[in-house]
Structure 1
């Protein structure tokens, strides 16, 4: 086996309560927590996957969706190689916000960042959905990004989305990825980064990150 693994950063963005934390935990831990406090600042977890028999580590960054934290979130776009724009298919407001999030990603992330849009809560009955697949696909086609529907609750398409992202990242960023010695990064470990609005530093690798834990507010993040 190779001594080193390739590491790629994927950042999840979107309005609060669209299920970003649930998606991260479903992918990294195969777990679903229907009620938890909303993220304040930044949190990330890791998971090792295999592509064509080669190990690859994804650092999956969970960002706060509240307006007051957007200036902090933007700092993490600069080092992102992949971005998932999440919205809740049962809440039109979260879909209407996608253009604003997309504009921020294009402004602050590298020009070659890979962007997917993901409609969460695909498990809901059609009568509860406010955005149709056709409408979401049309938006994504107009902006030249891929669209997926998923469910953090049932795990529908979660692994497939990250596998697809990882496959593209390995092709596009083969010469730009981080390399970490095997076993230095452990799967499913959550590392929270406490930030203030004046923070300007970029995130460090997980092995050197702050493990004190980010504070959570009292809002319930519906997934």
Structure 2
């Protein structure tokens, strides 16, 4: 379980990250992770319709195990490639299921991943969000240490 801290809008936040593979053989492992998490980040591949179609089953599992105050996040990956899942379809699905929606791409860099973690942690910890950045190159969050990967679940905690 990778851990790290990040500055989230002026607050130091500690992350404990659990990455649960989406394959059916790992579903029993995932159930044990949900109980203590504050943020669930569910990822799918926008270039693969089957990846999107499998989300409903994962959402049911997450909703059954996530604490009621848990923050739910859906992240579409590979948005820079030819899409099979349209942006509006994914956004609508996320909204209907009570999930925040983001897209991230290895091509566009770490900024997308930073935004997912920072906004998710801010919501989980009731940290006010700043106004949108003035330019696309403005970063709102900075890592004190590097998380390894886009993840399935995170347990952020505010440090004083």
Q: TM-score, normalised by structure 2?
A: 0.74
Highest relative contact order (Cα 8 Å, sep 6+), 1 or 2?
2
Aligned-partner Cα distance in 2 for 1:85–1:93: 15
- The answer for unaligned runs of 5 or more in structure 2 is 128-143, 149-160
SS of the counterpart of 1:171?
A: coil
| Larger of the two Rg values belongs to structure | 1
Aligned to 2:125: 170
Matches within 5 A, 1:1-223: 44-124=1-81, 128-155=82-109, 156-171=111-126, 187-188=145-146
* Matched residues, number: 131
Aligned-partner Cα distance in 2 for 1:166–1:54: 10
- The answer for unaligned runs of 5 or more in structure 1 is 1-43, 173-185, 191-223
In 2 relative to 1, CA 137–53 (structure 1 residues): closer, same or farther, beyond 3 Å?
A: closer
Deviation at residue 101 of structure 1 after TM alignment: 0.5
RMSD: 2.0
Aligned-partner Cα distance in 2 for 1:56–1:96: 33
In 2 relative to 1, CA 171–103 (structure 1 residues): closer, same or farther, beyond 3 Å?
A: same
Deviation at residue 78 of structure 1 after TM alignment: 0.6
